Amino acid sequence: MPEVTNITSVDQFNTLIGNVPPTAVVALNFHTPWAEPCKQMNEVFKALATTAPPTTYFLSIDAEELPDISESYDVSAVPYFVLLRNASVLLRISGADPKELRSAIETQCGASSTALPPAQETTAPPATTASPTTTTTATSAETGGEEDLNTRLAKLVKAAPVMLFMKGTPAAPQCGFSRTLVGLLREKGVRYGFFNILADDEVRQGLKVFSDWPTYPQLYLEGSLVGGLDIVKEEFENDPDFLKAQSVSADA
């Protein structure tokens, strides 16, 4: 039966992908070890691997440790799943939704639904990424009105203890302010979640109203807005340890 292969390098990934039969399905699980929504979905992913057809390949990828692979599949949030056949993307799933992932595996791999583990309830926000710094993005099914958007945004800003809403991703910022703030957080050794607001115009426009802050990047701490680049710089100048609880020691 298929087992989950943990990818530890770009070379290993490319070799595996290059050796997969063209008719086989490859399931990619992008995650980070510290993002809570990923923990449950990693278990679901493992369970699905034990019951899928032998021609299915399950690959587990740390989005933070292997950003080149993450970027190549436009991963802007975690957990994030991609199904491939013959190196072509069949579908993408963003967010912690066991039922959606199970259904996708069943459909694309021809697995028996009776053999797969039951769908599980999850309290994870439907749309966020965790950066390796990381975030999670919303699923395409979420297209409700203003109240639904506000509910979604309220979950997004709490998706990680420190959440950065930026233009682009930490590996490829698409504005100078976002690039500078990413560099500042990296310099301070802060773990954070990120959301690429260029990938979701609903969030991009809605968060301006939700936060009453008209520009990006925006940094949140424990669900509360800190501010943009200038404010974060000022906070660090006044208190270099104001994000100390979210910092990573050099030996970690």
Distance, in Å, from the CA atom of 219 to the CA atom of 232, rounded to the nearest integer, reads: 8
Q: What is the pLDDT of residue 112?
A: 44
Which phi and psi angles does 11 have, rounded to 5°?
Answer: -60, -45
Two tokens at 169?
């991703």
Q: How many CB atoms lie within 10 A of CB 241?
A: 9
At what angle are helices 146-156 and 201-211 packed, to 10 degrees? 80
Distance, in Å, from the CA atom of 220 to the CA atom of 127, rounded to the nearest integer, reads: 16
**b/e burial code for range 149-179 (CB count within 10 A of at least 16 → b):** beebbebbbbbbbbbbbbbbbbbebeeebbb
Distance, in Å, from the CA atom of 167 to the CA atom of 43, rounded to the nearest integer, reads: 31
Q: How many CB atoms lie within 10 A of CB 208?
A: 16
Whether the pLDDT of residue 125 is over 80: the answer is no
* Tens-place pLDDT, residues 27-58: 999 998 877 788 888 999 999 988 888 889 99
Give the mean pLDDT of the chain.
80
* Tens-place pLDDT, residues 150-184: 888 998 998 888 999 998 888 888 888 888 999 89
Laid out side by side, the sheet with 88-94 consists of 4-7, 56-62, 25-31, 80-85, 88-94
Which residues are CB-neighbours of 68 under 8 A, at least 6 positions away?
10, 171
* Tens-place pLDDT, residues 68-118: 898 888 876 778 899 999 989 999 988 778 888 888 888 887 654 333 334
Which of 26-35, 80-89, 123-132, 206-215 is least confident? 123-132
Mean pLDDT over 194-202 rounds to 86
Q: What is the pLDDT of residue 28?
A: 96
Q: What is the pLDDT of residue 131?
A: 45
Using the structure block, give the residue that is written with the tokens 């992913």: 45
- The continuous run of DSSP H or E covering 132 comes out as none
Distance, in Å, from the CA atom of 70 to the CA atom of 31, rounded to the nearest integer, reads: 10
Two tokens at 27?
């399931």
Please report the domains of the chain, with CATH numbers, ordered by start residue: 4-115 (3.40.30.10), 128-246 (3.40.30.10)
186 confidence band (pLDDT: 50, 70, 90): confident
3-state secondary structure of 10: helix
29, amino acid identity: N
Laid out side by side, the sheet with 193-196 consists of 193-196, 162-166, 218-221, 224-227
127 confidence band (pLDDT: 50, 70, 90): very low
Per the document, the length of the chain is: 252
Q: What is the pLDDT of residue 117?
A: 39
Q: What is the pLDDT of residue 223?
A: 92
Distance, in Å, from the CA atom of 77 to the CA atom of 90, rounded to the nearest integer, reads: 18
Provide DSSP, 107-126: HHH---GGGSPPP----S-S
146 confidence band (pLDDT: 50, 70, 90): low
Q: What is the pLDDT of residue 38?
A: 86
